[in-house]
Amino acid sequence: MTKWNLAIDGPAGAGKSTVAKRVADQLSMVYIDTGAMYRALTWLALNKDVNIHDEAEMHHLLKESDIRLRGPEGEEGIYVNGTNVSKAIREPQVTNNVSYTAQHAAIRKEMLRKQQLLAAEGGTVMDGRDIGTAVLPNAEVKIFLTASTDERAKRRYEEEIAKGMDSDFEKLKKEIAERDKIDSERTEAPLKKASDAVELDTTELTVDEAVNKICLIAEKRVDADE
């Protein structure tokens, strides 16, 4: 049986990582979080005082760093130069700077190369912003996951409250809208629905419903191709 890839793109808080992980488990595929790679580089730049807006400096930093989506024993987690940064890359400082890192052409070129290698043998569920359009344009199944800005901000708010954080809904909503704007308006591989992607609005859906719908779409597509 040929192994196929599933691309999931969409704006912040649409549910990509939550849903992609579950779909990957259900279909016995491997989940790849490409946003974590941009976040890891952003975390490193902030820690090393590298200017995020300087493309050459950022490219140099990426070339000399070791970013991995698995631990030394194959455990889940994102590692930068051997350090587990899985939690640190979700901090607001990283979230609010990552879109600047992701604007640079030289960074995107290198990330795309790494991501294509990870999916070369198929069997992956990869989520991000440009998977269906640039990283895996030939992915057998493509989903563009959306939800209203209010709903996406509400989801982030609830996550922060559950973590015991002092959250501010309006501030989160503004930050999400700002990140969407930068991601959608950049020149290099902007956030965009691939012409052959199926759009799924999850505003009114539970996680289970979204997972089931994607699995059904995937099974239909893959069966039709066999």
- Annotated binding residues for ATP, written as ranges, equal 10-18
For ligand CDP, which stretch binds (CB under 6 A), given 22-30, 43-51, 63-71, 204-212? 204-212
CB of 103 to ligand CDP, least distance (A): 8
Residue placing its CB nearer to ligand CDP in the complex, 4 or 111: 111
CA dihedral 192, 195, 198, 204 (to 10 degrees): 40
String of contacts with ligand CDP for each residue 52-81, x by CB under 6 A: ------------------------------
Site for ligand CDP in 102-131 (CB under 6 A): 102, 128-131
Which three-class secondary structure state does DSSP give residue 50?
Answer: coil
- Give the whole-angstrom CA distance, residue 198 versus residue 182: 23
Residue placing its CB nearer to ligand CDP in the complex, 25 or 225: 25
Question: In 3D, which of 118, 135, 110 has the Cα closest to residue 60?
Answer: 110
Q: What is the DSSP letter of 74?
A: S
Instruction: Return the H-helix or E-strand segment holding 67.
Output: strand 67-70
As a whole number of Å, the end-to-end CA separation of the chain is 9
Residue placing its CB nearer to ligand CDP in the complex, 73 or 183: 183
- Give the whole-angstrom CA distance, residue 223 versus residue 185: 36
Residue showing tokens 């890192």? 101
Given candidates 22, 104, 142, 155, which one binds ligand CDP under the rule CB under 6 A? 155
Q: Is residue 34 at the binding interface for ligand CDP, with CB under 6 A as the rule? A: yes
- Give the whole-angstrom CA distance, residue 21 versus residue 19: 5
- Give the whole-angstrom CA distance, residue 134 versus residue 180: 18
Q: Is residue 39 at the binding interface for ligand CDP, with CB under 6 A as the rule? A: yes
For ligand CDP, which stretch binds (CB under 6 A), given 10-18, 60-68, 75-83, 163-171? 10-18
- Contact residues toward ligand CDP (CB under 6 A) are 10, 12-19, 34-35, 38-39, 98-99, 102, 128-131, 155, 159, 179, 183, 202, 205-207, 210
